[in-house]
């Protein structure tokens, strides 16, 4: 019988992100998936409101955190992995191809001394790696396409797919970031859709189409029948065509240049300079996709 973890989603309306606490209710052990560290781009202020909400929930339930997991280096918000590691002592993990993303952004930010070796995390998962959440079996599938390093965590009957499939009425993730590919994303989505039909799918963002309330849980069967990018465009060529056409219309996420700087470094903020202030570096004219009007 497939094990059923207790999954609690925490929606962050500022970044439309869904963060998860995934627990084995019997052993009271849990993992945190894709936690957000708050950043206000107008003032430059950072905060731990989202991460503290997760910690409060974990405390209330009497859970012990076993892992802090990221599905990929996010391009639209900061990861709270490092903050939560300091607070809980739990190890951090991400997919091993994060090294390729680090190499790319190391050159963009011109950081000659930055170790693009994944040493910023406690564990780098390879495709097929297994681990446990309490007594529940978990495994890792590579799901590249949105980024080079994206992975899916399959924990019991629940798959944390982050930026591959969104809710069926919302479609799929964009594939136009450096290292992204609509063709590769198609293959990753096929792998996710070949999980058992009753597998619970937990997405990493919800952009609330039509202004509806945020949602984040579906099933493989629902995605196969109803996802607007998959069900209506069943061939790879159709999918790639609609995905690339939509990507041409999208502005870059407002925090991409800030986020990759933090997230390729495991969620660490830059060290303070001699005046005690931390600074971000913004490369100019590196990315396309300016929305001038
Ligand atoms: N407006 C958002 C856009 C964020 C964005 O581009 N999200 C990515 C995931 S990181 C995506 O796949 N969006 C799909 C879409 O908008 O169709 C922002 O500025 O942060
Ligand atoms: Fe993303």
The reply to whether 283 falls in a domain is no
| Mean of the per-residue pLDDT values of the chain | 96
SS3 141: strand
Length of the chain measured in residues: 293
The reply to whether 36 falls in a domain is yes
Say how many Å lie between the CA of residue 253 and the centre of ligand 1. 6
| CA gap 11, 197 in Å, rounded | 25
SS3 150: coil
Domains: count for the chain = 1
* Contacts of residue 266, Cβ cutoff 8 Å, sequence gap at least 6: 79, 81, 82, 92, 94, 120, 121
Using the predicted structure, report yes or no on whether residue 233 has a pLDDT greater than 70: no
The reply to whether 288 falls in a domain is no
For 139, the domain range is 6-259
Tokens 């903020």 — which residue? 269
Is the beta carbon of 253 within 6 A of some atom in ligand 1?
yes
Is the beta carbon of 18 within 6 A of some atom in ligand 1?
no
Q: Are 143 and 188 in contact (CB under 8 A)?
A: yes
Surrounding ion ligand 2 within 5 Å at CB are: 74, 163
For residue 293, what pLDDT is reported?
Answer: 65
Say how many Å lie between the CA of residue 161 and the centre of ligand 2. 11
- The backbone region for 11, taken as left when phi is positive above 0, alpha when psi lies in -120 to 50, beta otherwise, is beta
Say how many Å lie between the CA of residue 10 and the centre of ligand 2. 16
Q: Give the tens place of pLDDT for each residue, 128-181.
A: 999 999 999 999 999 999 999 999 999 999 999 999 999 999 999 999 999 999
Is the beta carbon of 205 within 6 A of some atom in ligand 1?
yes
The reply to whether 87 falls in a domain is yes
Q: Give the tens place of pLDDT for each residue, 179-190.
A: 999 999 999 999
For residue 2, what pLDDT is reported?
Answer: 77
Give, for ligand 1, the residue of 250, 255, 287 to mutate: max count of ligand atoms closer than 8 Å to Cβ: 250
Q: Minimum mean pLDDT among 66-75, 199-208, 226-235, 242-251: which range?
A: 226-235
Give, for ligand 1, the residue of 173, 181, 206 to mutate: max count of ligand atoms closer than 8 Å to Cβ: 173
| CA gap 124, 155 in Å, rounded | 17
Atom 5 of ligand 1: nearest residue by CA position: 253
For residue 289, what pLDDT is reported?
Answer: 77
User: How big is the CA angle at 148 (ends 114 and 236), to the nearest 5 degrees?
Assistant: 165
The reply to whether 51 falls in a domain is yes
| CA gap 96, 106 in Å, rounded | 16
For residue 29, what pLDDT is reported?
Answer: 98
Q: Which ligand has an atom closest to residue 76 CA?
A: 1
The reply to whether 279 falls in a domain is no
Give, for ligand 1, the residue of 144, 146, 174, 229 to mutate: max count of ligand atoms closer than 8 Å to Cβ: 174
Q: Give the tens place of pLDDT for each residue, 44-67.
A: 999 999 999 999 999 999 999 999
Is the beta carbon of 185 within 6 A of some atom in ligand 1?
no
Say how many Å lie between the CA of residue 162 and the centre of ligand 1. 12
CATH number where 121 lies: 3.60.15.10
For residue 232, what pLDDT is reported?
Answer: 61
Q: In Å, what is the CA distance from 5 to each residue of 83, 122, 134, 149, 177?
A: 25, 24, 10, 25, 32
The reply to whether 273 falls in a domain is no
Is the beta carbon of 174 within 6 A of some atom in ligand 1?
yes
Is the beta carbon of 245 within 6 A of some atom in ligand 1?
no
The reply to whether 282 falls in a domain is no
Atom 7 of ligand 1: nearest residue by CA position: 253
Say how many Å lie between the CA of residue 74 and the centre of ligand 2. 5
Using the predicted structure, report yes or no on whether residue 217 has a pLDDT greater than 80: yes
Q: Over pLDDT 90: what percentage of the chain?
A: 95
* Contacts of residue 6, Cβ cutoff 8 Å, sequence gap at least 6: 22, 23, 24, 25
Say how many Å lie between the CA of residue 14 and the centre of ligand 1. 12
């Amino acid at each position: 019988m497939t094990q059923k973890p207790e999954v609690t989603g925490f929606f962050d309306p500022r970044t439309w992100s869904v963060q998860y606490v995934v627990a084995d209710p019997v052993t009271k052990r849990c993992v945190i998936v894709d936690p957000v560290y708050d950043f206000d781009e107008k003032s430059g202020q950072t905060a731990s409101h989202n991460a503290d909400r997760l910690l409060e929930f974990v405390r209330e339930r009497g859970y012990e955190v076993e892992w802090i997991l990221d599905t990929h280096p996010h391009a639209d918000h900061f990861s709270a992995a490092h903050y939560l590691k300091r607070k809980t002592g739990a190890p951090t993990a991400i997919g091993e191809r994060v090294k390729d993303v680090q190499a790319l952004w190391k050159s963009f930010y011109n950081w000659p001394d930055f170790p693009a070796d994944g040493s910023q995390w406690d564990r780098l998962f390879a495709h097929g790696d297994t681990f446990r959440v309490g007594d529940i079996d978990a495994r890792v599938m590579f799901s590249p396409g949105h980024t080079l390093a994206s992975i899916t965590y399959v924990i019991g009957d629940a798959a944390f797919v982050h930026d591959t499939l969104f809710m069926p009425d919302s479609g799929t993730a964009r594939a136009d970031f450096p290292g992204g590919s609509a063709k590769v994303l198609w293959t990753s989505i096929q792998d996710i859709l070949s999980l058992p039909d009753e597998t619970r799918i937990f997405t990493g963002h919800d952009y609330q189409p039509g202004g509806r309330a945020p949602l984040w849980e579906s099933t493989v069967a629902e995605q196969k029948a109803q996802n607007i990018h998959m069900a209506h465009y069943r061939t790879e060529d159709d999918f790639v065509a609609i995905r690339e056409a939509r990507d041409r219309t999208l502005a870059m996420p407002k925090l991409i240049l800030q986020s990759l700087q933090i997230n390729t470094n495991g969620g660490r903020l830059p060290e303070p300079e001699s005046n005690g202030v931390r600074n971000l570096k913004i490369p100019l004219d590196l990315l396309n996709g300016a929305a001038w009007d």
